Structure 1
Amino acid sequence: MSLLQVKEVTHSYGSRTFLNWKGRPKKVLSDISLAIEEGTCLGMLGTSGAGKSTLGKVILGMERPQNGKILFQGHDIYTADKHTRQKIRRDIQAVFQDSYSSVNPRMTAERIIAEPLENYEKLTIAELKRTIVELLERVGLSEEDLKKYPHQFSGGQLQRINIARAISLKPKLIVLDESVSSLDMVNQTLILELLKELKEDFGLSYFFITHDIKAAYTISDTVGVLEKGELVEHFDSKEEFFTSEHPVVKEMRGSILAEHPRFRSIRTRVSQT
């Protein structure tokens, strides 16, 4: 049995006027089916507005779809009993794009990481602090960072704190919603390497939402392509993606910039032929 199964999920939003909702609902997900196995990463590629983040929210239990099911270890996350839903909330965590808006600016790094532990674990004060220090060190920070506030960290450092918080409860699945896209190239590379290490060390599974092909293939075992709310392709290898004749995939490949700026005009001319 797969860790997570998305079965024929369809979701829509209503159109809004100044005062109220009216008009035909806008379909943002259409008959989506996919699965994530334990210890694997499914990358989900798509342009802005493709429905990637909405799919992430549906998987996280934040937006109930109009049709279809989300099964986590065989349990429907929207209809399971209270005890099961509580366990699922513990086992599915998230790291979002904006590291600053994901935290309370008035809380120290220690308090940010402590919050889920205090909600789910019964630890002494000494055990709690020791666990938090271990988590900080595991993501490349130190005990000296405990009392710092979000504004005292760089974007990459704060994202490490968000990752530490996400892994604190030893979840089975983490939804990564554009979690490196707001970082510079150096920090993107470092965070992606950290995520790969954590995946191996803790046996984590990821649902990695991104528009960046290179980032997707850095940590993903398989990759799906979402376009206008539809899952148009699914690839088990990088080679399959780069040889696909699907027009959406070909357009994505054509938009990849060369590594060095001097070659980018060449890449553009080649992609247009």
Structure 2
Amino acid sequence: MCLLQVKQVSFSYNTNKLFKGKNQANQILTDISFAIEERTCLGLIGTSGAGKSTLGKVILGIQQPQQGQVLFQGHDIYNVNRATRKKLRRDLQVVFQDSYSSVNPRMTAEQIIKEPLENYEKLTLGEQRRTVIELIERVGLSEKDLKKHPHQFSGGQLQRINIARAIALKPKLIVLDESVSSLDMVTQSLILELLAELKDDFGLSYLFITHDIKAAFSISDQIGVLEKGELIELYDSKDQFFSSKHPVVSRLRDSILAEHPRFRTIGRRSGGETGSFSEEI
């Protein structure tokens, strides 16, 4: 079943030209269309400035596009009543890149995780406490961590707190906007494993926005390539991606720097290998 549909979305910023007093449109997204099915992950790859984060904000309902539609669970998120918008917002969560700026530094981990529960659920204090304990343990931390403040966590630990907050309401879709980019390789790998487990356990769908091809491959069922605000191509398998003749995709393939010598010829493969993106590249 189709969970999210992005239909011919275009977005631009209006900027004032100095001294001339005229507005000039700065086109960021142009005619973007794709869909995400339930329980799947779309990895959206692009270099800095490609428009990835702007597209994420459009999907989250933060920045309204000048053209096109964003349909979530069949509803146009920019053309619904307040009650429907609140329901859709419950089912659509986000984890941003900067784990520290995503939280209130004065709040404890418990307060951060329970915030969406207070906004959407009618739980007793005991039920709320049990739920928060379950959530923090599910992301690999412990009950004793609930009393800590953000500065007492590492970046990876705090991102686990943000993930716990994101799954608290059991949403349908989570937008992961460069959510592992600022982490070291070991921590990044552990967070990606956690996200994959949560996807299966909770039946989640992801939009995984990243500039890291290998990170995208580790978790995605489908890959989209964004370049200068345009969706270049969508790929359903590794073989499709690595056999693509598109020059933008060729440059992205060439940018892959494998840690192990046995992976360093993959960009030169002509075909013969199939499989999902989640397999090791």
Class of the TM-score when normalised by the shorter of the 2 chains? over 0.9
CA distance in 1, matches of 2:20, 2:223: 38
Contact 1:14 1:21 in 2 (8 A): no
SS in structure 1 at match of 2:156: helix
The C-alpha deviation readout for 1:16-63, integer Å capped at 9, x for no partner, is 467998442111000000000000000000000000000000000000
1:183 pairs with 2:202: no
Distance across 1 between alignment mates of 2:16 and 2:107? 36
Q: Is the 8 A contact 2:16 2:24 kept in 1?
A: no
The alignment's TM-score, normalised by the length of structure 1, stands at: 0.94
2:163 counterpart SS class: helix
Stretches of structure 2 that go unaligned for 5 or more consecutive residues are: 269-281
Question: 1:197 & 1:20 partners in 2: Cα distance?
Answer: 55
Structure 1 counterpart SS, 2:196? helix
Is the Cα–Cα contact under 8 Å of residues 15 and 21 in structure 1 kept in the other structure? no
1:194 is matched with: 194
Distance in 2 between the 1:19 and 1:103 partners? 40
User: SS of the counterpart of 2:30?
Assistant: strand
State the secondary structure of the residue aligned to 2:233. Answer: strand
- Tell whether the 8 Å contact from 2:17 to 2:24 is kept in structure 1 after alignment: no
How many percent identity over aligned positions?
71
The answer to whether structure 1 residue 95 and structure 2 residue 95 are counterparts is: yes
**Aligned positions, number:** 266
Q: Output the TM-score relative to the length of structure 2.
A: 0.91
TM-fit CA distance, 1:186: 0.3
Match runs of 1:255-270 below 5 Å? 255-260=255-260
CA distance in 2, matches of 1:171, 1:124: 21
Counterpart of 1:235 in structure 2 is 235
1:139 corresponds in structure 2 to: 139
Residue of structure 1 equivalent to 2:59: 59
Q: Secondary structure at the match of 1:3?
A: strand
Superposition deviation, residue 263 in structure 1: 9.9
Deviation per CA, 1:222-241: give whole Å up to 9, x if none. 00000000000100011111
Correspondence 1:188-227 to 2 at 5 A: 188-227=188-227
Q: Is the 8 A contact 1:221 1:236 kept in 2?
A: yes
Cα distance between partner residues in 2 of 1:32 and 1:53:
13
Structure 1: which amino acid aligns with 2:235?
A: F
Q: Structure 1 residues 263 and 5, CA, compared in 2 at 3 Å: closer, same or farther?
A: closer
Flag structure 1 segments of 5+ consecutive residues without an equivalent.
Answer: none
Q: Is the 8 A contact 1:5 1:36 kept in 2?
A: yes
Q: Any conservation in 1 of the 2:96–2:102 contact (CA below 8 Å)?
A: yes
Deviations 1:169-222 (A, max 9, x none): 000000000000000000000000000000000000000000011000100000
**Who is 2:13 aligned against?**
13
Change (3 A) 1:212 1:18: same
Distance in 1 (alpha carbons) for counterparts of 2:262 and 2:72: 45
Aligned to 2:85: 85
CA distance 1:137–1:19, change in 2 (3 Å):
farther
